Structure 1
Amino acid sequence: MNLETVPQVQSSASSKGERTKARILDAAYDSIIQKGFAGTSIDELVEATGITKSGFFYHFRDKSDLARQLLVRFLAEDDAVIDSLKARAEQLVDDPLQQFLLFLNLYAELVDEMDALHPGCLVAAVVYQEQVFDAEVRRLNSEAVMRWRERFLAWLEAIDRKHQPVTPLHRLALADALSAIVEGAIVLAKALDDRALMGRQLRLFRDMVKTTYGVA
C-alpha cells in the first residue's frame, strides 16, 4: 500500500461521515421546527436520511446528544452571520452609531433575499418546549440569549460614548428589543405568510434607534 494515499482515504471517510452527520442534523432541525422535539423520533430521522440506526448512534449517543449538537451548530451559524454583518459594517464606517444602523440595514437586506419564509428559530423551539430538553440544552440556550444581549448592549454602550440620546434610553431594554423583534418577526411572518415582514420589522427598529439618537 502506498502510504501517501492513507491520509486521502482517511480524509474521504471523514468527509463522508461529516456529510452524513450534517444530513441527520438538517433533518432533525426541520422536524423539530415543524413538529417539536417530542414529535421527532430517531426512527424517522434514520428513514429520512437513509442510514441505519447504528449509523445514527455512531454520531450521537442518544436523542438528547442530537439536540445538544444541533443547538451548538445552529448557534455557531447564527453567530457567524451576525459577526459577518458586523464586520462589513465596521469596514465601511468608523462611527459606532452609523455601524449599528448599517448593520441593521444589512440584516434587513439579508432576510429580504431569503427565497422562502424563515423556517423557525431553534432557540425559540427550546424555550417553548423546554420540558422535553435536558438541562444541558436549556443551559446552552439561555447562555446564547445572554450572549445576544451582551453583544448588542456592548455596541450601544460604545455608541453612548460618542452620542447623547435625545430621548430617554434604557440600554438593556433596547438591546433585548432587537432579539425580541427578530424572534417575533419569525413567528409573525410564518403566521401571516409574509416573507417581507422580517425586513420591515428590522427597518422599523433601525428607525427607532435613529430617533433615539436624533439621526435625521
Structure 2
Amino acid sequence: MPTDVATKTVPTVQSEPRSKGERTRDRILDLAYEAVIRKGFAATSIEELVEAAGITKSGFFYHFKDKNDLARQLLERYQANNYVYLDELSERARELSDDPLHSFLIFLKLYADDMRDHLTNMPGCFIAAVTAQDQSFDREVVRMNAEGILAWRQRFHGWLEEIAKAYPPRREVDLLAMADAVLTLSSGGVTFAKALRDADCIARQMLLYRESVRLIFAG
C-alpha cells in the first residue's frame, strides 16, 4: 500500500492530462502488473500483453526497449506511487498531532483502516513478487527493489528515532526491527490474507503492532 505501505495499487501520479501514448504505456504497465502478480514475470509474455492492450508489437517496443525495461518501469511506477501514498498518509497523521508518538499511532490506524478497505482489490504484493522471482529479473530490478525496501526502513526508522527521543523506550528495543515490521506485516500480510480469504487480516496485525508501539514507548 502498502499498500505494498503500501502493497496496494495506488493511482498513478499525474500532473497534466495524459497523451494517447502515455495512456497506452500505462495500460501495458497495468496489464503487466496484474500478470506478474498472478503468474510470475517469466510466465508473462510480451505477446500476451500486446494482445491484451490491443496494440502491435512495434507499439510495445516504442514504449519499452525490452522485457527488462518493462520490469524496471513497472517497479519505478510502483515505488513512486507508494512514496506518494505514504507521504500523504504521513502528512495527514502529522497534521492531526505534532507529537511524534501520537502521530505515528494515528498513521498506523489510518493505514490499518485503508488496508481493510482495499485488500479485496489487491492482486498481491509486488515487492514480494519481485523478491521471490529475483532470478527472473535483471540485476537492476533486483537492486531497485532492495533500495525501495531500504527506503521504507529509513522512513519509519527515522520516525521511531524521533519517538524514542521524546519517549525513551520502557524496555530495550531494536528500532530497525520495529521499522522493518511495518513492511513485513504489510507484504507478508497480503499473502496470508489472500490464502485465508481474510480481508481483515492485515488491519488486525497492524493494530496489534500499533498497540505494541504504544506500550513500548508510553506504557
Do Structure 1 and Structure 2 share a fold, with TM-score over 0.5?
Answer: yes
Equivalenced residues, count: 204
Decide whether the 8 Å contact of 2:89 with 2:107 is kept in 1.
yes
1:135/1:183 CA distance change after superposition, 3 Å:
same
Structure 2 counterparts to residues 121-160 of structure 1, below 5 A? 121-160=125-164
Decide whether the 8 Å contact of 2:164 with 2:217 is kept in 1.
no
Q: Which of 37, 41, 47 does residue 43 from structure 1 map onto?
A: 47
Aligned-pair identity (%): 50
| Residue identity matched to 2:207 | R
Quote how far apart the aligned CAs of 1:213 are. 1.2
Structure 2 counterparts to residues 5-16 of structure 1, below 5 A? 15-16=19-20
Q: Which of 77, 88, 92 does residue 92 from structure 2 map onto?
A: 88
| Residue identity matched to 2:212 | M
Q: Which of 63, 66, 77 does residue 67 from structure 2 map onto?
A: 63
TM-score of the pair, normalised by structure 2: 0.90
Structure 2 counterparts to residues 1-216 of structure 1, below 5 A? 15-114=19-118, 116-215=120-219
Distance in 2 (CA, whole Å) between partners of 1:49 and 1:117 is: 21
Quote how far apart the aligned CAs of 1:115 are. 6.6
Decide whether the 8 Å contact of 1:117 with 1:193 is kept in 2.
no
**SS across alignment from 1:113:** helix
Give 5+ residue unaligned stretches, structure 1: 1-10
Distance in 2 (CA, whole Å) between partners of 1:200 and 1:47 is: 40
Q: Deviations over 1:90-111 (max 9, x none)?
A: 1110100001000000101111
Quote how far apart the aligned CAs of 1:214 are. 2.8
**SS across alignment from 1:75:** helix
1:115/1:210 CA distance change after superposition, 3 Å:
closer
Q: Deviations over 1:7-39 (max 9, x none)?
A: xxxx98x61111100000000000000000000
Quote how far apart the aligned CAs of 1:51 are. 0.7
Distance in 2 (CA, whole Å) between partners of 1:70 and 1:117 is: 19
Q: Deviations over 1:189-209 (max 9, x none)?
A: 011011111111111110110
* Root mean square deviation, CA, Å: 1.4
Give 5+ residue unaligned stretches, structure 2: 1-15
Decide whether the 8 Å contact of 2:109 with 2:210 is kept in 1.
yes
Decide whether the 8 Å contact of 2:79 with 2:148 is kept in 1.
yes
TM-score of the pair, normalised by structure 1: 0.91
Q: RCO greater where, 1 or 2, for CA within 8 Å and sep 6 or more?
A: 2
Distance in 1 (CA, whole Å) between partners of 2:123 and 2:211 is: 26
Distance in 2 (CA, whole Å) between partners of 1:126 and 1:106 is: 27
Which of these two proteins has the greater Rg computed from alpha carbons? 1
The match for 2:6 is none
**SS across alignment from 1:161:** helix
Q: Which portions of structure 1, spanning 4 or more consecutive aligned residues, are displaced by more than 6 angstroms?
A: none
Distance in 2 (CA, whole Å) between partners of 1:151 and 1:108 is: 18
